[in-house]
Structure 1
């Protein structure tokens, strides 16, 4: 970690790279992308194992939802701190520390399973710690991306990173389910190794040292990210659309219930259901990396959210694992369009000295939609069942999209993502 201040400007390119602009000409980007991929592999494998453990221990939809709530709480309470830390300290060191914490949690869960003293309380504590690490890691890693590539290829960088991560999201859940079937400790031990490799890649990132503004820590500086987002209707509209669309359409959080009780599949079936959105997302991310969106990106993002809602309804009504996988693949492809457009808009419209705080606010919205959405889905499914919960959520997503066309017309009018 001591070598992290070695310099290599993200804007410096070789003659060949200037002829064909590509994120693959930036070694720092490759290390960052590799770090994200190995982290995604590990976290996805652990997610599958944790979901199956909790449902085996409790047989409760509420408990499944509470897993998401435990992940959301630290992100909610740490958001403002995270943003300020990411803007004042070396972002690579922050990401490195977060990955070490995740690795230790993976080892702890493997030990608990091996010794036979695993309980739902232990799992909830572990998930909370993982949530705290993610609360720091995700916005910091996002804010780090524009430091390793020039703005002119940021959309390509986001799309390429997304495609690589989605490949991990395909392999991770399937591997997690298979490994858990062989031995419950295996997903956690393999995840610990993958996180160690991710740490090595972060330590290898070489970029130009940022000039960190030495502004005093005040309430205004801490809340600056929120103030900035509120003053930019396009950014606010983009991240709030994702918040409410995914919050309401969170039926995928109930996958253990669908896999076991409706589709009658085991851990392997759950693994493939978890991987299905990533399959669609990977295909879409590869397409966007090769052919970036050039026009009407705001409208396309909003339409993609509507497709997400329709796919959620179809998945919830399905009784065939093949059709369920297809619905989830469409869902993942639609979500990727939203992710690429939203991430590019946030990074391009935010100055570097504010990126940590704005990324933290964005991460809070994402965490609210994902983790709190899981809690909401689990709570509602406890009363209504998973099918009706998913249908209601999908309809809610469609209603949100229709409202956002009227509330945020500026977002619908965004034409391009040119940096």
Structure 2
């Protein structure tokens, strides 16, 4: 007889906090920030680009600080106090009357939001020391975040329809307080009681030295170095899309802004399906090779998405691309966490996120000018092809990294074709 397995309470609380907090953030970003800047404050393209650039720089700082704080304390404390500290910065854009004021308020908002994001991304290894459960926890948190990616902009649209755009920022602040309340009762593994020898004495270091140690460890560890490069390459492609994608919808597809919203919703649904698929995925596929294959597929999906003038093909590309990324991101994060010693999770997560944000910012320096020469669609298709080509250079390194995986994981791979009991496992739902 089928018996329902009750979800683990800590995972439920963290996943709910992740969903609620990100739903508020996505509503604030897609509708609140872009909407107020573009429509209420009549921003120019240059002013909007400056706003996005400032957000990116502050996100770099926030994720670095967040990683340091997680290792000094733990993700629960950082998320709890980070969400509370975020509230004033979430409300501040309500009172911005100029683009200068808006940019300044969003800079502070971006700083605190990335501190919170880094703490959430660091939770899984604090909830379990079991490799199989770690995969499930990452998949669950990814699903919660992806669901918020779908729900947040829709909630923001409803607030604008029945209220005022500034009320979205108030909604963002309230969701942060709810998320803080949800993590209050979360219990964590004590990783600071028995820190790995590689990080022993880290608490005696200065803040700058701790951050430096995080980067040094990440660069010197072959496994993590691979995931840094693959993640950064993926975000470079995203940065190209972020710079000119609205123009692709306007000039190539010849559709209105509502279509951009619907396609993003479809993309989010694809990401949800991908993260659910990861939880069901057999352990033998949890390899560095799979991550590189995912990056290759991401490049091809970008070409499918942007290489057409038919919005139906774009929608198909969106859901397939979303599904690929829904598997790729939590898989990469899980493997990275498996290769990271206790006491280093926050700083390693912060290091990876820093490179992701640098990758996303880089195209802002040249993509608009390139699009003016070769066209928006050519730039987007080119971004996908470049990502695919770069991924091909990482397959040999991925094979070497797979040989360095933990013993228990390596045994699982070696016995995958010999063990009849090898079935997809959903460790924690």
Residue 394 of structure 1, CA deviation:
1.1
- The separation in 1 between residues aligned to 2:249 and 2:348, in whole angstroms, is 37
Residue 292 of structure 1, CA deviation:
4.3
What's the secondary structure of 2:334's corresponding residue?
helix
Tell me what 2:183 maps to.
Answer: 202
Tell me what 2:25 maps to.
Answer: 43
Tell me what 1:235 maps to.
Answer: 224
Indicate whether 1:179 and 2:159 are aligned: yes
Alignment equivalent of 1:167, drawn from 124, 147, 165: 147
Alignment equivalent of 1:193, drawn from 174, 182, 200: 174
Alignment equivalent of 2:89, drawn from 96, 105, 112: 105
Tell me what 1:244 maps to.
Answer: 233
Give the conservation status (yes or no) of the 8 Å contact 2:305–2:317.
yes
Q: How does 1:103-182 map to 2 (within 5 A)?
A: 103-112=87-96, 117=97, 119-152=98-131, 153-182=133-162
TM (norm. structure 2) is: 0.81
Tell me what 1:364 maps to.
Answer: 354
- The separation in 1 between residues aligned to 2:369 and 2:281, in whole angstroms, is 41
Cα 1:378–1:331 shift into 2, 3 Å: farther
Structure with the greater relative contact order (CA < 8 A, sep ≥ 6): 1 or 2?
1
Tell me what 2:9 maps to.
Answer: 27
TM (norm. structure 1) is: 0.83
**Deviations 1:47-85, CA, capped at 9 Å, x for gaps:** 21223444442352x555444422221243455544332
Tell me what 1:11 maps to.
Answer: none
Give the conservation status (yes or no) of the 8 Å contact 1:311–1:330.
yes
Cα 1:67–1:376 shift into 2, 3 Å: farther
Cα 1:345–1:259 shift into 2, 3 Å: same
- The separation in 2 between residues aligned to 1:267 and 1:134, in whole angstroms, is 26
Name structure 1 gaps, 5 residues minimum: 1-18
How many equivalent residue pairs? 393
Give the conservation status (yes or no) of the 8 Å contact 2:291–2:328.
yes
- RMSD (Å), alpha carbons: 3.0
- The separation in 2 between residues aligned to 1:341 and 1:404, in whole angstroms, is 16
Residue 259 of structure 1, CA deviation:
3.8
Residue 148 of structure 1, CA deviation:
1.7
Residue 246 of structure 1, CA deviation:
2.3
Cα 1:301–1:207 shift into 2, 3 Å: closer
Name structure 2 gaps, 5 residues minimum: 194-200, 411-429
